Chains A and B, each alone.
Chain A
Amino acid sequence: MKARLAGLWRSMPLRLALLLVLLFATVSLLSLAASYAVTQRSFEQAIRADLAQDMAGFRAAPSAGAVARLVEAESRETDPNRLILSYIGPDGRIYGNGAIARDNEGYHIVSLGAARAEYTGVYLTLTDTLYGGLLTIARSRAEITALREVFVNILLVSLLPTVLIALSGGLILARRSKRHVEVIRATLDRLTTGDLAARVAPGPRWSDDLLRIGEGINQMARAQETSVAALRQVSLDIAHDLKTPIQRVSVHLDDLARAEKTGGDREEPLARARAELDGIAKIFQSLLQLAQVERGDARAHFAPVDLADLCRKMAELYEPAAADQGKELRCDLPEGPVLVEGDEALLGQLLANLIENALRHSGSAEAVEITLQQTAGETILSVADRGPGIPAEDRGKVLQRLYRLDRSRGTPGHGLGLALVDGVAKLHGARLELADNAPGLLVKVAFSA
């Protein structure tokens, strides 16, 4: 119970409610105090004005005797709790319904009646000399005291219910938001313990900010789930694709051992084992490079690259290799430079992969065409062959790492070429499109200008 209260106390809505209550109470108190002060001052001024007027009335009397008689007459009529008149005549006699006495505790007003009782109320007094005597008029401040009570009552009546309502509202909100936050926390708990399928299910009365946080968490969880699944798939693929060549190396080494004993050919199994190991190293190299391209670090040193020049260079590099296979590399490039922002080495590798892919998979068909087109908003690089192409339903899959069409299993390559092309295109914000060249494969990389 104590812990729960402590938890509630730390919750945001309750704190906000308390803060508002405190603010409201302070404002009410201040405004009431201010109006009390103003009202009290004007009451006091009214009383002082009355006192001055009374004094003026007595001053109008012609002589000390007349003043004494007037005081006597008047004081008989008035309630000493409201008004006290006291005239000390020139002869020392005291007239009126009270007298000002002084002792070491201060001034007192005492009754002139038989009991000489002291009046306990608080009074405002005015004293003046009149015909050799001393006239004191005191008016009670009881009305002002009553006023203070009225103000305190107003304060209690208005403030207490507000505080109570705000507090209980705050508590209710705090408990509700605690329940909502609890839903989010539970989801995060499940996500951290590895259940990546966990999602925040928002209730109908969730506030907008919590909804946004929940949506954000779900988005993060979805991304995480996808990338973990991809990673798992890649690990499986790598395991599978590397086990086969490692197995072959082992076979070649066995052959070598047998040749050692029987005096057979040692060169061939040795060369084969080395070739397999080179292949394995290349797969690793490509995977590492793919991972690095996907990380996007290269964007930091992008610079303008002349695609036309790069196309010419790569075509020139591969031209003899193509000719050896009885194929032709044709270029259709604009005269001037075609600039895109990018990483020249990676774009060169993208082109090399596309050209190698086209040469390798185009069978006996003769021409591979590299073209560069500039439209209003895009620069389109395309490499087209006239081989068997890729069936439409497989075009998405060939971009995945280590994926190879069944019919390509016998040809060299490790299924990472197009994945790297895809990665490099994405790094450059370019759109990669595989299309039918009727016959053959047409690969388009569209860079936005």
Chain B
Amino acid sequence: MKLLVVEDDTTTSTYIARGLREEGHAVDVVADGRDGLVQATTGQYDVLILDRMLPELDGLTLLKTLRGAGNATPVLLLTAMGAVDDRIDGLNAGADDYLVKPFAFGELSARVNALARRPQALEQETTLRAGDLTMDLITRRVTRAGQEIDLLPREFALLEHLLRRKGRVQTRTMLLEAVWDISFDPMTNVVETHISRLRAKVDRPFDTELIQTVRGAGYRIDA
């Protein structure tokens, strides 16, 4: 993918750019809002990673200008402010996702990948598959290697979310947002405990592990 990072703090931008390049993306970096706007309008990017506080032109204004000009490139907004209202402001200005500093690189990478593929996730499937596991979305039955697996509604939702995003890392906060509709970060590792319950039913009785833990990032079901 071709990505543009607009961030004035060189330590952060170098860190983001290096990480994303290691994952195989082409990354351009600019350090102020005005250059960012020029670069975003002239280049063809798959995702923009935009800092909210920028010299010359702040991130929200840049975003509004870009959207006003009809540019629909997915935007991930980075911010030091994490309160609910700031989040709403950012999303209202046209951001597709929002990440609060300080963040782990795994979180950023997972969210960038989610953004780039968002339009394709609209297809209507009635059966989801991974390896020998099958999830029927209509009868809400899950079977693995011919055996039926009994899941609680929330476990079903969690597994469905991971299956729909096969091959992509889902972080704890992404799962909290998508499955529980919770936008704050609990102190207790609630997601881990739910994942381990799910694993106990989906993976433990079988030979292979479908749900992978990605260190420092989150969880993934391999394609």
The answer to whether B81 touches A320, judged by C-beta atoms less than 8 angstroms apart, is no
Q: Is B183 an interface residue (CB 8 A)?
A: yes
Q: Is B44 an interface residue (CB 8 A)?
A: no
Measured in the bound complex, the distance between the Cα atoms of B84 and A318 in whole Å is: 22
Q: Quick one: closest A residue to B182, CB to CB?
A: A348
Measured in the bound complex, the distance between the Cα atoms of B153 and A316 in whole Å is: 11
Q: Given A317-B190, A318-B190, A320-B194, A348 and B185 touching (CB < 8 A)?
A: no
Q: Is A8 an interface residue (CB 8 A)?
A: no
The answer to whether B188 touches A356, judged by C-beta atoms less than 8 angstroms apart, is yes
Selected contact of B85 from candidates A282, A298, A360, CB within 8 Å: A298
Q: Is A238 an interface residue (CB 8 A)?
A: no
Rounded to whole Å, the gap between the CB of A275 and the closest CB of chain B is 12
> Which one, A194-202, A285-293, A367-375, A396-404, is touching chain B?
A285-293
The answer to whether A356 touches B102, judged by C-beta atoms less than 8 angstroms apart, is no
What interface size band does chain B fall in?
20 to 34
Q: Given A292-B85, A313-B180, A320-B196, A282 and B190 touching (CB < 8 A)?
A: no
Selected contact of B186 from candidates A281, A289, A298, A356, CB within 8 Å: A356
The answer to whether B189 touches A288, judged by C-beta atoms less than 8 angstroms apart, is no
Measured in the bound complex, the distance between the Cα atoms of B188 and A359 in whole Å is: 10
**Overall SS of chain B's interface:** loop
Measured in the bound complex, the distance between the Cα atoms of B79 and A288 in whole Å is: 13
Q: Given A318-B190, A320-B197, A324-B193, A282 and B185 touching (CB < 8 A)?
A: yes
List A335-375 residues whose CB lies under 8 Å from chain B: 343, 345-346, 348-349, 352, 356, 359-360
Q: Given A277-B102, A316-B154, A348-B182, A343 and B187 touching (CB < 8 A)?
A: no
**Overall SS of chain A's interface:** helix
The answer to whether B83 touches A352, judged by C-beta atoms less than 8 angstroms apart, is no
Measured in the bound complex, the distance between the Cα atoms of B102 and A282 in whole Å is: 9
Residues on the A chain within 8 Å of B43, using CB: none
Q: Is A413 an interface residue (CB 8 A)?
A: yes
Q: Is B206 an interface residue (CB 8 A)?
A: no
Rounded to whole Å, the gap between the CB of B108 and the closest CB of chain A is 15
Rounded to whole Å, the gap between the CB of A241 and the closest CB of chain B is 15
The answer to whether B84 touches A343, judged by C-beta atoms less than 8 angstroms apart, is yes
Q: Is B68 an interface residue (CB 8 A)?
A: no
Q: Given A313-B180, A343-B84, A320 and B193 touching (CB < 8 A)?
A: yes
The answer to whether B85 touches A297, judged by C-beta atoms less than 8 angstroms apart, is yes
Q: Is A12 an interface residue (CB 8 A)?
A: no
Rounded to whole Å, the gap between the CB of A357 and the closest CB of chain B is 9
What interface size band does chain A fall in?
20 to 34
Q: Is B26 an interface residue (CB 8 A)?
A: no
Residues on the B chain within 8 Å of A345, using CB: 84, 182-184
Q: Is B55 an interface residue (CB 8 A)?
A: no
* Per-residue interface assignment for chain B, residues 96 to 118, with 1 indicating a CB less than 8 Å from any chain A CB and 0 otherwise: 00001010000000000000000
Residues on the B chain within 8 Å of A313, using CB: 180
Q: Is B167 an interface residue (CB 8 A)?
A: no
Measured in the bound complex, the distance between the Cα atoms of B81 and A282 in whole Å is: 12
Q: Quick one: closest A residue to B194, CB to CB?
A: A320
Q: Quick one: closest B residue to A319, CB to CB?
A: B193
Selected contact of B82 from candidates A289, A297, A359, CB within 8 Å: A289
Q: Quick one: closest A residue to B193, CB to CB?
A: A320
Q: Is A204 an interface residue (CB 8 A)?
A: no
List A240-289 residues whose CB lies under 8 Å from chain B: 277, 281-282, 285, 288-289
* Per-residue interface assignment for chain A, residues 284 to 314, with 1 indicating a CB less than 8 Å from any chain B CB and 0 otherwise: 0100110010000110000000000000010
Residues on the B chain within 8 Å of A318, using CB: 188, 190
User: Could you tell me which A residues sit within 8 Å of B by CB distance?
Assistant: 277, 281-282, 285, 288-289, 292, 297-298, 313, 316-318, 320-321, 323-324, 343, 345-346, 348-349, 352, 356, 359-360, 412-413, 417
What would 8 more interface pairs be, CB under 8 Å, given A316-B154, A318-B188, A348-B184?
Answer: A281-B102, A285-B82, A298-B84, A317-B186, A321-B189, A346-B84, A352-B186, A356-B186
